[in-house]
Structure 1
Amino acid sequence: MSLLRVRGLTKEFGDLVAVDDVDFDVEDGEFVSILGPSGSGKSTVLRMVAGFEEPTEGEIALDDVGIVGSPPFERDVNMVFQDLALFPHLTVAENIGYGLKQSGVPADERRERTEDMLEMVRLEGYGDRTPSELSGGEQQRVALARALVNEPALVLFDEPLSSLDRKLRQHMQGELQRIQLETDTTFLYVTHDQEVALAVSDRLVVLDDGRIQQVGTVEELYEAPESRFVADFIGDVNAVEGRVTAVEDDGIAINTGDEAVTVPRTTAEEVAVDDAVDVCIRPFQVRVESADADGSDADAPADTDGTFSTTGVVRSRSYQGSDSQYGIETDRWGRLSAEVRSASFEIDDRVTVAWDAADVHVYRRDGDGSPGGDGGS
């Protein structure tokens, strides 16, 4: 069941359309992230759900009740801010119990519920400390406990992990997932950090220029992006320029420089003969093998049996732990990235790179040769 329903949400600031006709749902008990670059409108969406901004147009319903026009304190919603907004003059316990006190909850019940929250966020014994005595991660957990203690239907997060270092951010990702599952609370999380969003979310809402580009599970957005923007924004992607030479029932023929390769129609948005396109492939799907030292196969064209292949020279290598990321200057398609686990190559090694046509995604380019802005969204 949809706990939160957003329809036709639009916000204008003078001539600027910050949010443009946005629709999405959040199911009860879900962890949903709104992901997009800076200026995409994601925080404005969150502030409208919280009640800190009023929509220019559109509907927001919480548990089937319209909340547009209701003040923030009348919405069954709490928010964890980017700067946390803890009260420096109050103790940890007083910060957590502040909302309960404002709601008139008796002192004994406040104390019990605050202690339960301290245990939930693994800060037992910290109640008498002040926020200044806590680490960044501990302050994050106090802010989360304060947001959860009065048991709201929905908790909103506005990039609360952005100030943490990578290791602490990864730890807090796990804590957020654990607490969300244990409390069965619905989370709506806003971030520009793909790593965080991919790690914690049941579903993603990808936003750009105020408009939704795609909504889906993490796997759907990573493995089947509907536009070049989503492919670029959700993880790394290689792009090879080409031109459509034929569109048949069994596939699309694309010339990438020497010879047409047929790709399945399911990998491409709607294209027509002579369209300029980008053929995109994830680095982990690129195979790398040693090539002949004399480079005798450097001019081999892309195959027509469902694979792309060329040769190149290793120009960079970055050890990633479970694999290595290679930058390869190819003879046909410029610089490509590949993630390799089962082999090792040195700088200036000559290699063959290849990938399967069934793994590519094809996106139409604009008339000026730039990637299409609307893609397949």
Structure 2
Amino acid sequence: MSLLRVSGLTKEFGDLTAVDDVSFDIEDGEFVSILGPSGSGKSTVLRMVAGFEEPTEGEISLDDVEIVGSPPFERDVNMVFQDLALFPHLTVAENIGYGLKQSGVPADERRERTERMLEMVRLEGYGDRAPAELSGGEQQRVALARALVNEPALVLFDEPLSSLDRKLRQHMQSELQRIQLETDTTFLYVTHDQEVALAVSDRLVVLDDGEIQQVGTVEELYEAPASRFVADFIGDVNAVEGRVTAVDDGTIGLDVGDGEVSVPRDAAVEELAVDDAVDVCIRPFLMRAEPAESDRDAVDDANETFSTTGVVRSRSYQGSDSLYGIETDRWGRLSAEVRSASFDVDDRVAIAWDAADVHVYRREGGAPPSEDGGA
């Protein structure tokens, strides 16, 4: 069942519409992330759910109870802030038990529940320490324990991992998942960090300019992005400019500047018509690369493959594979993630990818592709 239901949520600050008609549901026990660039409205949505901002329009219900207008302390919600907001003059145990004390929970019960939370976040024996004596990751766990100790229906997170280094952030991602599963608490997490969101979430809500772009599982958003924005924002993507030349029952014909390629009709996320200007998008890991023996294409498989040659301009070693920046002869700079071969900067390579792996989006403005192509 839906624990949290957000319907038609809008927030205006004077002439600025920070959140525009946002609607989504969160099921009991889910881990959902709101993902978007800075200024997309994601933190404003979180603050309205928490009760720190009042919506201009819309409804928010928690466990089928409308909570718009209720003060934060009356909502069955706790929040982990970006700056953690731990009390420096209190011990770790006192920080965790602060909410229980404010609620009038007896001292013995507070002590028992605090110790239980210290075990949950693997900080046994740290109760008498001051927050300043802890590492960044340990402070994160104290803030999480404080948010969970009074067993709220929903815990909100406002980018709490943004200040951590990558290794510690990855560790905390695993800890968040473990604790969420063990407590069966519903988490709503706000971040601009795609890596964090992809790693921890059951579902994603992608925002841009205050509007929802797509809601779905991590796999759905990565493998079937509903817009060029989502494709760009969730992982890396290459784009080749083209124009629609034909639309049939099962295929779409595309002129990509040097011959026509047919792609499956379901590669287009919206209805297209002949002469529409489009972006043809492909993930770097779906591209093939090999040394170019000549200026011919890597693959010439009828009209079901995109292919070109180019020169390696950059290389980023990533352990199991390398990410190459390739200046292509047809389509400008493209990125290819390659595991089966190794190239040096200035090597000439041939690259190709299958038409069945692309996504096609109508280009904003519908302008025709430039004469020399470009990504």
> In which range does the TM-score fall when normalised by the shorter chain?
over 0.9
Residue matched to 2:363: 365
Tell whether the 8 Å contact from 1:258 to 1:301 is kept in structure 2 after alignment. Answer: no
Structure 1 residues 34-59: Cα deviation after superposition (integer angstroms, max 9, x where no partner) = 00000000000000000000010001
Aligned to 1:270: 271
Q: CA deviation at 1:354?
A: 0.4
Unaligned runs of 5+ in 2: 370-375
| 2:312 is aligned with 1:311 | no
* CA distance, structure 1, for counterparts of residue 296 and residue 163 of structure 2: 49
Shift of 1:370: 9.5
What is the identity, as a one-letter code, of the residue corresponding to 1:338?
A
Indicate the SS of the match to 2:364.
coil
Partner of 1:375: none
CA offsets 1:276-302 (integer angstroms, 9 cap, x no match) = 10000000000001111xx3416x897
* Letter paired with 1:364: R
Aligned twin of 1:239: 239
SS of structure 1 residue aligned to 2:97? helix
Partner of 1:5: 5
Q: Distance in 2 between matches of 1:134 and 1:296?
A: 59
Give 1:297's aligned residue: 296
Q: What is the distance in 2 between the residues matched to 1:23 and 1:103?
A: 32
Hey, what's the Cα distance between the residues in 2 that align with 1:241 and 1:305?
A: 17
Q: Distance in 1 between matches of 2:165 and 2:345?
A: 31
Offset at residue 305 of structure 1 (A)? 3.4
Q: How does 1:217-256 map to 2 (within 5 A)?
A: 217-256=217-256
Runs (4+) off by over 3 Å? 300-305, 368-371
Task: Answer whether contact 2:289 2:350 (CA < 8 A) is retained.
Answer: yes
What's the CA shift for 1:316?
A: 1.0
1:66-145 matches, within 5 Å, as: 66-145=66-145
- Does 2:282 match 1:284? no
Instruction: Please say if residues 40 and 207 of structure 1, whose CA atoms lie closer than 8 Å, have aligned partners that are also in contact.
Output: yes
Give, as a single letter, the amino acid of the residue that structure 2 aligns with 1:227. Answer: S
Q: 1:304 to 1:242 in 2, by over 3 A?
A: farther
In 2, are the aligned partners of 1:12 and 1:19 still within 8 Å (CA)? yes
Q: What TM-score do you get using the length of structure 1 for normalisation?
A: 0.96
Normalised TM-score (structure 2): 0.96
Question: Following the alignment from structure 2 to structure 1, what is the Cα–Cα distance between the partners of residues 29 and 260?
Answer: 48
- For 1:55-105, what per-residue CA distance to the aligned partner results, in whole angstroms no more than 9, with x for missing partners? 100010001111000110010000000000000000000000000000010
CA separation of 1:277/1:301 partners in 2, compared to 1, >3 Å: closer, same or farther? farther
Q: Secondary structure at the match of 2:324?
A: strand
Matches of 1:303 and 1:261 in 2, distance apart? 10
CA distance in 2, matches of 1:180, 1:296: 54
Structure 1, gaps ≥5 residues long? 372-377
Offset at residue 345 of structure 1 (A): 1.1
Structure 1 residue matching 2:124: 3-state secondary structure = coil
Equivalent residue for 1:337?
A: 335
Residue 185 of structure 1, CA deviation? 0.3
How far, CA to CA, are the matches of 1:9 and 1:326 in structure 2? 42
Partner residue, 2:373: none
**C-alpha distance in 2, partners of 1:66/1:231?**
35
Q: Which amino acid aligns with 1:355?
A: W
1:260 paired to 2:260: yes
Does residue 301 of structure 2 align to residue 321 of structure 1? no
2:12–2:19: 8 Å Cα contact kept in structure 1? yes
* Aligned-partner residue type, residue 43 of structure 2: S
What secondary structure sits across from 1:288 in the alignment? strand
Corresponding residue SS for 1:195: helix
Partner of 2:153: 153
CA distance in 2, matches of 1:43, 1:335: 34
Map of 2:216 onto structure 1: 216
Contact kept? 1:260, 1:302, Cα under 8 Å: no
Partners of 2:3 and 2:295 lie apart in 1 by 62
**Matched residue, 2:49:** 49
Cα deviation, 1:141-194, whole Å, max 9, x if unaligned, reads 000000000000000000000011111111100000000000000000000000
- Whether the 8 Å contact between 1:9 and 1:58 is mirrored in structure 2 is yes
Alignment of 1:186-205 (within 5 A): 186-205=186-205
C-alpha separation between the residues in 2 aligned to 1:264 and 1:12? Answer: 42
Counterpart position of 1:351? 349
SS in 2 for 1:190: strand
How many angstroms apart in 1 are the aligned matches of 2:284 and 2:365? 27
CA distance in 2, matches of 1:369, 1:156: 42
Q: CA deviation at 1:260?
A: 1.0
* Conservation of the 8 A alpha-carbon contact between 1:259 and 1:301: no
> Is contact 1:303–1:309 with CA below 8 Å preserved after alignment?
no
TM-superposed CA distance for 1:304, in Å, is 4.0
Aligned-pair distance for 1:306?
1.3
Distance 1:255 1:368 in 2: 14
Aligned length: 368
- Contact 2:261 / 2:305 at 8 angstroms: preserved in 1? yes
Q: 1:108-145 CA deviation, whole Å, 9 max, x = no partner? A: 00000000000000000000001111111000000000
AA partner of residue 194 (structure 1):
Q
**Preserved contact between residue 276 and residue 366 of structure 2 (Cα < 8 Å):** no
Do the aligned partners of 2:35 and 2:205 also contact (CA within 8 Å) in 1? yes
